[in-house]
Amino acid sequence: MKKIGVFVCHCGVNIKDTVDVEKLTEQLAIYPGVTYIENYMFMCSDPGQNMIKKAIKEKKLDGIVVAACSPTLHESTFQNAVEEIGLNKYQLEVANIREQCSWVHNNIQEATRKADLIIKTAIEKLKLNESLKPVSAPLTKRVMVIGGGIAGIQAALDIADGGYEVVLVEKKPSIGGHMIQLSETFPTLDCSQCILTPKMVQLGKNKKVTLYVNSEVESIDGFMGNFKIKIKRKPQYVDPDICTMCGDCTDVCPVVVHSEYDEGLSWRRAIYVPFPQAIPASFTIDTENCLGFEPIACGECKKVCQAEAINYDVKTEFFEEEIGAVIIATGFDLYPVENIAEYGYGKYPDVLNGLQFERILSATGPTGGEMLRPSDGKVPKEIVFIQCSGSRDPERHKSYCSRICCMYTLKHAKLYKHKVHDGQPYIFYIDIRSGGKRYEEFIQQAVSEEGIVYIRGKVAKVYKKGDKMIVHGMDTLTGKKVEIEADLVVLAQSIVPSEGVEKLIKTLKLSSDDSGFLMEAHPKLRPLESLQSGFYLAGAAQGPKDIPDSVSQASGAAAKILALMSKDEIQHEPIIAVVDENMCSGCGICIGTCPYGARILDENKVAIVNDILCEGCGACISACPSGAAQQKNLTDDQINNMIRVILS
């Protein structure tokens, strides 16, 4: 029989205050199989680990149970420790007596009894554990980045810099994301396009980067290190290699639609360049609005194109890429402001969202950077900014803080002041959140020196009276209701996951949080990784984020991937399904049950397991009618023994 050592952690007071560790030690010392038992304040500390190592050596232990916190936290710590001393890491079991016991109970006697049982089940499991070796699998050293905003661009550049090939998939006709729409960036007020376009150009010219624009991920197969991803590319109908960018086509196009780049504040044609610095630089046809697909109806652009670059017959194309790891950088959109009817967006042209105001501030915007309001082109002399428009409102809109609005709203107010010196900006706020580096100073300076008035309270209503926008708000500091006759109102809309990301999450089988943002593997310790192996997160796809944070996360995710790519092969957990060939009847039920395609019938009609593909989910094991399939180190015998202990 195995000689088992049990190590009970106090976790400071986290466990000790609710579980009587001394009594536990006494009771378990006489449990069959237990050769050695000890308790200690912090088992995860160096002295704690040394205690385990010393006991293995001196008492010749061949199985260890550490009763401590959840295995998601310290299982690997203890596995490494036992391996250092030569014990196979699968001869270690963690009994979770913190999250599943001490934290959720307060009766010491009962909690101690429960901890005792939890540890005994771990001992019973351990008794039948085999020593295992990780499964090795090959690694495709190519990376896919989904989303071509600042986060995606940064991640792609860093990975290409590390020497690996990158495939960047962007659903719009150009990379650049929302950052290309911005005027200047807080807190330094440097021009957004000036700092972004060099990166875009770098990316466009990088030989290691394959760019798919107008494209989306269609399907995925395989597993970490060995994905096969199908990309669907919508045609742009203009061959970028032939197009001379002369612009004759746009001049004759009869279709006029709202410009996405200018957030609906200006117009574009159905054949257009998304914006001057677009990458790839080419005209593209917007199929939803173009009339040319009915040759009788139109076809003007094709007639005037001397280079003969336009071809209406191009079809949607599909590409398959072999990929080792994927970064999701799908960014954000603004919460539809039409949902907040009391602010009158959509009804009044002089109520704008934050991105629209960015366009008005921008030199490449609809007014050429002049501060003019949309309704009548007049210079607005008083502007009201409304923060938390849809954020921090669990009842009707979004419960979370959108994190970037406090800063960009102040930036808006400042830039407005720089353009209209005698203008008066007012900012309605509930709290000011300025936690970033030099953010607070940015705000203080504006309030002291630039005449920006902050009003603490939420706006209830905005309506039009003559050519003014009347704003009814509250100043909770004086306790008085406030009315402002403004010329323009700007709403700091909540940040929401970008449109279409829900579908992508389904396609890639990823997880999202209750707001639709991608879920990280651990909120503090693994914020760059998805819960699903092989997927990494960058930028606002994971949650509202400003540019510095998006770039940091993108570089961080890239570093994670570079570390992965530096290995020759990937190692796969060996806790997977195994089949007893003599018992398998070849019914094939497991094949349909396996979500990973890891079960196949071999020539002898035995349903074997592909070790690389198997994720150890256990679905086939519970489905197997003959009991031929077993999970390694979690066999029926082990589970039965564990249940028996609990019921005894």
Partner 1 sequence: MYIRIKAADINNTQVKKIEELSGQNIFDCYQCGNCSSGCPVVDYMDISPNQAMRLAQYGRIEEVLSSEMIWICSTCLQCSSRCPKGIDVAKVMEAFRTINLRNGIGVVNPKQLGITETKDIPPILLICAMRKMTG
Partner 2 sequence: MKLPYYPGCTLKANARHFEKSAIQAMEKLDFQLVEMKDWVCCGTVFSMTSDDLMLQLASVRNLLRAEKQNLKELIVLCSMCYNTLKRANDFIVKDKGNLEKVNNFMYKENLTYSGKIEIYHLLSILKDRIGFSVIAEKVKKKLSALKIGAYYGCLLVRPEELAIDNFEDPSIFEDLISTLGGESLDFAYKLECCGAYQTVTKKDVSVKRVYEILNSARESGCEAIVTSCPLCAYNLDFLQKDVEEEYLDFNRIPVFYFTELMAVALGCGWDKNWSSLHFTDPEPLLREKGLI
We find the least distance from the C-beta atom of residue 335 to partner 2, in angstroms, to be 15
Query: Please, what is the minimum distance in Å from the beta carbon of residue 383 to partner 1?
Result: 18
Helix, strand and coil in the chain, % to nearest 5: 30, 25, 45
Give whichever of 256 and 460 is closer to partner 2, judged by the CB atom.
460
Which residues are bridge partners to 283 per DSSP? none
| CA 39 – CA 6 distance, rounded (Å) | 8
Residue 7, number of CB atoms within 10 A of its CB: 23
| Nearest distance in Å: CB 341, partner 1 | 11
The answer to whether 392 and 430 have CB atoms below 8 angstroms apart is: yes
Q: What distances in angstroms separate CA 102 from CA 6, 16, 112, 537, 567, one per listed residue?
A: 18, 8, 8, 33, 40
Quote the DSSP letter at residue 174.
S
Shortest distance (Å) from residue 494 CB to partner 1: 12
Residue 430 contact, options partner 2, partner 1, none, Cβ 5-8 Å cut-off depending on partner type: partner 1
Cα separation, 226 vs 525, in Å, equals 25
Please say which residue, 167 or 388, places its beta carbon nearer to partner 1: 388
Site for partner 2 in 339-358 (CB under 8 A): 340-342, 347
The listed partner (partner 1, partner 2, none) that binds 463, CB under 5 to 8 Å by sort, is partner 2
Q: Within 10 A of 318 (CB to CB), how many other CB atoms are there?
A: 12
Residues of this chain that interact with partner 1 (CB under 8 A) are: 342, 388, 392-397, 430, 456-461, 472-476, 479-482
Number of residues that bind partner 2 (CB under 8 A): 10
Rounded to a whole number of angstroms, the minimum distance from the CB of residue 341 to partner 2 is 4
Looking up tokens 């109908």, which residue turns up? 237
Q: Which is nearer to partner 1, 372 or 430 (CB)?
A: 430
Q: Which is nearer to partner 1, 400 or 408 (CB)?
A: 400
Of 149 and 344, which has the nearer Cβ to partner 2? 344
CB 414 within 8 A of CB 184: no
* Site track 303-342 with partner 2 (rule: CB under 8 A), x = hit: -------------------------------------xxx
In angstroms, give the least distance from the CB of 354 to partner 2. 21
Q: Which is nearer to partner 1, 405 or 570 (CB)?
A: 405
Minimum gap (Å) between residue 462 Cβ and partner 2: 9
Find all residues with CB under 8 Å of 62, minimum gap 6, and list them.
Answer: 2, 3, 4, 87, 91
Paired tokens of 116: 């005792």
Pattern 447-466, partner 2, x by CB under 8 A? --------------x-xxxx
Q: Please identify, using beta-carbon distances, which residue of 233 and 472 lies nearer to partner 1.
A: 472
Nearer to partner 2, 469 or 488 (CB): 469
Among partner 2, partner 1, none, partner that 560 touches (CB below 5 to 8 angstroms by kind) = none
Taking the complex as a whole, how short is the minimal distance between the CB of residue 339 and partner 2, in angstroms?
A: 9
Q: Which does 473 bind (CB under 5 to 8 A by kind): partner 2, partner 1, none?
A: partner 1
Within a 10 A sphere around the Cβ of 251, how many other Cβ atoms? 12
Q: Which is nearer to partner 1, 344 or 457 (CB)?
A: 457
Q: How far is the CB of 459 from partner 2 (least distance, A)?
A: 13
Helix (H) or strand (E) holding 352, with range, is strand 351-353
In which residue are the tokens 């400042």 written?
Answer: 414
Tell me the CA distances in angstroms from 452 to 387, 414, 427, 455, one per residue in order. 14, 8, 8, 10
Least distance from partner 1 to the Cβ atom of residue 427, Å: 14
Q: Which residues of 423-460 are buried (b: 16+ CB within 10 A; e: fewer)?
A: bbbbbbbeebbbebeebeebbeebeeeeebebbbbbbe
- Comparison of 208 and 464: residue with beta carbon closer to partner 2: 464
Q: Which listed option, partner 1, partner 2, none, makes contact with residue 456 (CB within 5 to 8 Å by class)?
A: partner 1
The number of residues making up the chain comes to 648
**CB 460 to partner 1: min, Å:** 3
Transcribe 418-431 into DSSP letters.
Answer: HH-TT-EEEEEES-
Specify the amino acid at residue 236.
Q
Given partner 1, partner 2, none, residue 388, with its beta carbon under 5 to 8 Å by kind, binds partner 1
Nearer to partner 1, 478 or 511 (CB): 478
As measured in angstroms, the least distance from the Cβ of 453 to partner 1 is: 16
- The two structure tokens encoding residue 529: 């990784």
From the number of C-beta atoms within 10 Å of its C-beta (0-12, 13-18, 19+), residue 313 rates as exposed
Residue 59 binds which one of partner 1, partner 2, none, with CB within 5 to 8 A depending on kind?
none
Residue 464 contact, options partner 1, partner 2, none, Cβ 5-8 Å cut-off depending on partner type: partner 2
How far apart are the C-alpha atoms of 561 and 263, rounded to whole Å?
35
When the beta carbons of 313 and 514 are compared against partner 1, the nearer one is 514
Selection from partner 2, partner 1, none that 341 binds (CB < 5 to 8 A by kind) is partner 2
Which option in partner 1, partner 2, none does residue 457 bind, with CB closer than 5 to 8 A by kind? partner 1
Residue 468 contacts partner 2 per CB under 8 A:
no
- Please choose which of partner 1, partner 2, none residue 474 contacts, taking the beta carbon within 5 to 8 angstroms, the exact cut-off set by kind: partner 1
By a kind-dependent CB cut-off of 5 to 8 A, residue 458 interacts, out of partner 2, partner 1, none, with partner 1
CA distances from 348 to 371, 373, 413, 471 (A): 18, 11, 21, 13
Partner whose footprint covers residue 465, from partner 1, partner 2, none (CB < 5 to 8 Å by kind): partner 2
Please give, one letter per residue, the 3-state secondary structure of 453-505. EEEECCCCEEEEECCEEEEEEEECCCCEEEEEEECEEEEEECEEECCCHHHHH
In whole angstroms, give the CA distance from residue 353 to residue 345: 8
Q: Is the Cβ of residue 319 or residue 463 nearer to partner 2 in the bound state? A: 463
Q: Which of 117, 246, 470, 559 binds partner 2 (CB under 8 A)?
A: 470
Q: Which of 155, 149, 150, 172 has the alpha carbon at shortest distance from 208?
A: 155
Distance from C-alpha of 34 to C-alpha of 112, rounded to nearest angstrom: 18
CB of 384 to partner 2, least distance (A): 16
Binding site for partner 2 (CB under 8 A): 340-342, 347, 461, 463-466, 470
